[in-house]
Amino acid sequence: MAPTNFRTLLIVAAAALTALFILSSSTRHVASNAAHAASIPSIPSIPSIPSIPSLDLNVPSTFHWRTSAHKPPVQKNSTSGEASWYSDWRWLNPFSSSLTLDEERIVLPPLPERPYIYTYLDTTVKRDKQTQEVDKEIIATWRRAWWAKGFRPVVLTQAEAMAHPLYPSLKPKGMPHALEVEFSRWLAWSHMGTGLLADLYCLPMGAYDDALLIHLRRGQFAQLTRFEAIGSGLFAGEKSHIDSAVQDALNDARLSSFNSITDAVKSSLFRVEQPTSIAYYDSGTLQKRYSAIANAILVDPVKGRRHLNKLMISHLHIVWQNTFSSGIEVLKPLPAHTTALVEPSLHLAQLLAECPETLLPSSCPPNNPKCTPCVGSKMRITHPEAFRNASSLYTIATVPHPYTMITLNNQTSDVTIKHIRRNTDRDRWIHSVTRDVLGDGRGAPSRVIALKDAVASEFGRARSLWFTVEHFPPNIAVDITADRVPTNDVEERPVDKTPFPENWLEDIDWHFGFLIPRTTVSHGESMNPVPLPERWSKGQQGVPADKKKSYDPADPTENQQKVEAQLLKKARDAINSKDKQLRLMRDVAEKWNLADLEAWRFVRAFRAQSVMERDVFEEEESAYAGTNGARKGRWW
Ligand SMILES: *[C@@H]1O[C@H](CO)[C@@H](O)[C@H](O)[C@H]1NC(C)=O
Ligand SMILES: *[C@@H]1O[C@H](CO)[C@@H](O)[C@H](O)[C@H]1NC(C)=O
Ligand SMILES: *[C@@H]1O[C@H](CO)[C@@H](O)[C@H](O)[C@H]1NC(C)=O
């Protein structure tokens, strides 16, 4: 086809599309979507997708314009259980099916690129079993922390170093052993190429959207970079820089007189940046700031390093708590009958508000000596009805399926179709949740957009965690409600051991980047010097302050909560049921609450995608060092 003809065709096609768009916009539904999409501030203007028109347009017949269209192809690793999704930059649209042409497939934002960060494990020294165990725990801390901040943490060993062509030239240089290990580390890094190289004791210690972490995630380094005052803690660079720096250093005649690689590499090759949100627990720092740990390591390396691991985890946790200084909000829209519904979120919030266990509970991370330790200033937990969009608040929310919401409101599972249509308001859940950000005047489509933004935008995902009722492990709400025996007696009050299954919690650990405490009242083992009563506020003897807060006088009685929990369980079964009558009820509930349904499906798919992302990562890494043996990977 001649270029001019092609251009004409393009112009005609563009004109036809415009006409189509204008025509379809005049149908009420799409027009309101577009108007709402446009009226939400600071959301990038995304072209509204016209629903596939069934209008008989007078388009020239040569166009073969059809009313049906291909569904977008299914992407790799994009289904999990009932959830399926499609990653596309046009995700911030009210209804996914207008893009996927599939009721069930939800459009999610594309997963952000995760830049590589490497650490090196010197596998040439022999380790006993106990040492290996501690190594494993520390590696897990390192991987989890960097993963949660948006990186792709990979553990390298001698295997990668040996794959580098310069490796054979290391030994003949006669360097001190420590320096040789450092060079091996750099060769392994260089073999992998562009990325970050971190020490195992170097952790990201700041908010997800901290400026330095954003810069590091961008993954572009004009020059080899090191960080002020943390020595070999962290480097960044591109393959060509790394290669030439190593080459250069190895050719230096004074090589064996250097103590470290930062001496060996010409300082002019480095650009030096401030390690604002990077914490490095090297031996110097330990001696200076955490001498109890340094001494413990001297006395018993295995035990001491285990204490160090706990200290690092506690600092990651404290920094998270400090980031959300206004506390945790557990959303409880439509509070009358949703106590059991929010119970698991509340429980998770309580675990997050716990003070982490460590030898030095009032210490701060090395890069942030002015932090507010958890002891004496516990996080606030509240349960408002609406989502509040504030950067210092963390939100945890559970989204019910519309059918679940209807049965909870009715307090029985014997609802009729007539009752749903006549007596229930549409999309009550999402209306209530978005009331604070949007007020009362907006329609459902703009509420869905606001909710998706809160769940999945760069800003939102760092500040909130959303589940569907189904995403909590089965019957968790029932378990929690059944087990809790309110008591005013300190002695008799049982330790609230979490009913969350371990593998479920592990996903949450990776989401936050630190091990979440497993009990809500961490009873001090011998190593926790904080006297317990200090953690409880006066006048509420016997029940920890945070527990007390969760008992709202307006809350339903224990008995009512049991009813709710039973209804929840029934609804969960009904949603997955094949029974004809139940399916019909569910369909009616869904059609009646399209916005609530979209929110529920979106949240389900978003969580599933994030779990899947890690599963795929662990699967890929399982053949290499540093992954959890339980996932059938080899250790090294
Ligand atoms: C992801 O997709 C690949 C290729 O389709 C498949 O081999 C792998 O098992 C999937 N991973 C998960 C966790 O589903
Ligand atoms: C529950 O539903 C039934 C009909 O299905 C209706 O008669 C009753 O009023 C509803 N109860 C509430 C509290 O909404
Ligand atoms: C919340 O605030 C951030 C930053 O001000 C903004 O980008 C985002 O769109 C807001 N989200 C909602 C749901 O209003």
Residue nearest to atom 5 of ligand 1 (CA): 76
Question: Does residue 619 line the site of ligand 1, with CB under 6 A?
Answer: yes
For residue 615, give the ligand 1 atom closest to its CA.
Answer: 13
Set out the domains of the chain in order of their start, with CATH numbers. Answer: 79-108 (no CATH), 116-279 (3.90.550), 313-619 (no CATH)
584-608 burial string, b = 16+ CB within 10 Å, else e? Answer: ebbebbbebbbbbbbbbbbbbbbbb
Question: Does residue 282 line the site of ligand 1, with CB under 6 A?
Answer: no
Q: Provide the whole-model pTM.
A: 0.82
For residue 619, give the ligand 1 atom closest to its CA.
Answer: 13
Residue nearest to atom 3 of ligand 3 (CA): 459
52-104 residue pLDDT tens: 333 333 333 344 444 567 888 888 888 888 888 888 888 988 888 888 888 88
Q: What is the per-residue pLDDT for 400?
A: 93
Q: What is the per-residue pLDDT for 117?
A: 96
Decide: 235 and 197 in contact? Cβ < 8 Å. yes
- The H or E element containing residue 570 is helix 558-576
CA 258 to chain CA centroid, Å, is: 42
Starting at the edge strand that comes first in sequence, how are the strands of the sheet with 105-108 ordered? 79-80, 83-87, 105-108
Residue ranges for the chain with pLDDT beneath 70:
1-68, 470-471, 473-497, 521-557, 625-636
Among the bound ligands, the one closest to the CA of 430 = 3
Angstrom distance (rounded) from CA 362 to CA 526 = 16
317 CA → ligand 3 middle, Å:
25
69 CA → ligand 2 middle, Å:
42
615 CA → ligand 1 middle, Å:
9
425-443 burial string, b = 16+ CB within 10 Å, else e? Answer: ebbbbbbbbbbebbeeebb
Question: Does residue 251 line the site of ligand 3, with CB under 6 A?
Answer: no
User: Which residue from 433, 481, 449 is spatially nearest to 331, judged by alpha carbons?
Assistant: 433
Residue nearest to atom 10 of ligand 3 (CA): 389
Our mutation pick for probing the ligand 3 site, out of 392, 452, 453, counting the most ligand atoms within 8 A of Cβ, is: 453
User: Which residue from 147, 164, 257 is spatially nearest to 213, judged by alpha carbons?
Assistant: 147
Decide: 12 and 18 in contact? Cβ < 8 Å. no
Question: Does residue 318 line the site of ligand 2, with CB under 6 A?
Answer: no
Q: What is the per-residue pLDDT for 67?
A: 54
Rg (CA), the chain: 28
Residue nearest to atom 9 of ligand 1 (CA): 616
For residue 451, give the ligand 3 atom closest to its CA.
Answer: 13
Q: What is the per-residue pLDDT for 473?
A: 65
How many C-beta neighbours within 10 Å does residue 374 have?
22
Among the bound ligands, the one closest to the CA of 459 = 3
38-48 residue pLDDT tens: 333 343 344 44
Question: Does residue 411 line the site of ligand 2, with CB under 6 A?
Answer: yes
Question: Does residue 410 line the site of ligand 2, with CB under 6 A?
Answer: yes
Q: What is the per-residue pLDDT for 338?
A: 85
Pairing of strands 224-227, 105-108: unpaired
Helix and strand numbers, DSSP H then E, in the chain: 25, 15
